[in-house]
Chain A
Amino acid sequence: MAASGELWLIYALGGGWGHLTRAAALARVTCSRQQVRILTNSPFAPQVSRALPDLDIVALDPTLSPAAAREQVIQHVRAADPSCLIVDTFPRGLGGELADIIHSLAATKVLVHRDLSPRYAAEAKLNAFVRSAYDLILIPGEGEGAAFADIPAAVVTEPWLIIDPPPPRDRVRQPSVVVCAAGTEEELSWYGAVVTVLQALDDRVEIRCVAPECPPGCPTKCWIEHWPAADLYADAGVVIGGAGYNTIHECLAFEVPLIVRPWPRKYDRQWLRARRAARRGAVTIVKEPREAAEAAMAQLRHPPARRSHRVRNGATGAFSRIEFIRSGISMPTLAVTTYNRS
């Protein structure tokens, strides 16, 4: 249990898995030393709570109207009276609801700066807002956030990982294809089509399609419900997924070849993240299901050499940064948790 009675509140509103997973990565490394709570409206909060029952997760109803969600967020933040408010991605809150209260909070304010649409940043004048409202800006991975990188309070950490340490590899098992399916109905159908093509190309290959529900077109025998998907990467010869924050950074960190299909999002620019990743690792950008399946089969036939390397979890460094900004001591270098990965 946490040693301190003060509460760190992580604001992780936003659709899908990404905001909640990033918040859970930070909460996992924080909760043994600090009381920490995650505020989310992700529909997948129950799955995360089941996997990490020790985490304090307050899940708002994901079907609330924007007005009702804003009201509940404000009520919760005020009632929690956190000593530290950590806001993921949206400086003003997803519905703009933090803008009116953040300056009045006594808490240390930390922004986790995932990529944001520059159009939104300009329209909402976010740079000036962040400068005035936040004490620390954490950029979770090189190149991830550019809108506020010029602010002196901005610090880049290694990418944050939910698996810490990474799962060991089973060297005997035949590498599988892991399909990480999430998103809209249309996107789930795309992944279902990928599984169909993969089976048609080679029905001996083990396919594990990880998704909260079986995607249309995906045989139920290939479907698995599991979180975090990164647990499955150790035995994967290749992963097929979207270009969201966690999929990209987990595959790069664990050196699993990734076939990536960037999807359009209102605030996140998945194409840009995918292109950056393609310059750094075994990442192939695709658009059509057949393209994805063929690229995955090519990866299985000619697997890239995986070197023994060290995986760093930026969430650990992020925790240290927050502790030090709260202590008022400047700190030029940070300790990070490092694991040998072989």
Chain B
Amino acid sequence: MNPPGGKCPRRAGFLFPHECDRDSPIGCRECDNGQVADPFTQRTDRYGYTGYDQYHGLGPGGQRNPNDFTEADGEKLVRSRKKYEDDMTAS
């Protein structure tokens, strides 16, 4: 269950992970009513995108396409709840 009054701590998303928007896992298909600890890593429908944190698809020869998605695209595309100016070790 979620902490009282808190947000769901799980990660959701198809290609880029982001925090779950829901307040409760009840009725959530992503985490199957709270049964899946990390729904993002459990997805199996990414086709050429093979797994967690792998943003690049593989071409016909199995070679990585260097122009494919990267973490930078993830940063750009995912709605952010990132807080700024609160970490004095950031860069």
B64, B66, B91: most-surrounded residue (chain A CB, <10 A): B91
If over half of B's interface residues share one DSSP class (helix, strand or loop), that class is named, otherwise mixed; here it is loop
Q: Is the CB of B84 within 8 A of A264?
A: no
Query: Can you offer 28 A-B residue contacts whose CB atoms are under 8 A?
Result: A13-B88, A14-B89, A14-B90, A15-B89, A15-B91, A18-B91, A41-B89, A66-B86, A66-B88, A93-B85, A94-B85, A94-B88, A119-B76, A119-B82, A120-B84, A123-B84, A124-B84, A262-B70, A264-B75, A266-B82, A266-B91, A267-B84, A267-B90, A268-B91, A269-B72, A269-B75, A271-B71, A272-B72
Tell me the nearest residue of chain B to A73, going by C-beta: B88
Q: Within the complex, what minimum Cβ distance (angstroms) separates A117 from chain B?
A: 7
B90 engages A94 (CB within 8 Å)? yes
A5-31 interface bits toward B, Cβ cutoff 8 Å, 1 = contact, 0 = none: 000000001111011000000000000
A269 to B74, CA, bound (A): 11
A341: Cβ under 8 A from any B Cβ: no
Known: A15-B88, A64-B88. 14 other contacts (CB 8 A): A14-B91, A15-B90, A15-B91, A41-B89, A66-B88, A94-B88, A118-B76, A119-B75, A119-B76, A244-B91, A262-B70, A264-B71, A267-B91, A270-B72
Q: Give 1 or 0 for each of B48-91: 1 = CB within 8 Å of chain A CB.
A: 00000000100000001010001111011000101011111111
Binding site for B on A (CB under 8 A): 13-16, 18-19, 41, 62, 64, 66, 69, 92-96, 117-120, 123-124, 244, 262, 264-272, 278, 285, 287
**Residues of B participating in the A interface, judged by any CB pair closer than 8 Å:** 56, 64, 66, 70-73, 75-76, 80, 82, 84-91
Pick the residue among A14, A93, A95 that contacts B86 (CB under 8 A): A95
Secondary structure at chain A's binding surface: helix, strand, loop or mixed? Answer: loop
Bound complex: CA of A267 vs CA of B86, how far in Å?
A: 12
Q: How far is the CB of A264 from chain B (nearest CB, A)?
A: 5
| Chain B positions within 8 Å of A15 at CB level | 88-91
A266 smallest CB distance to B (angstroms): 4
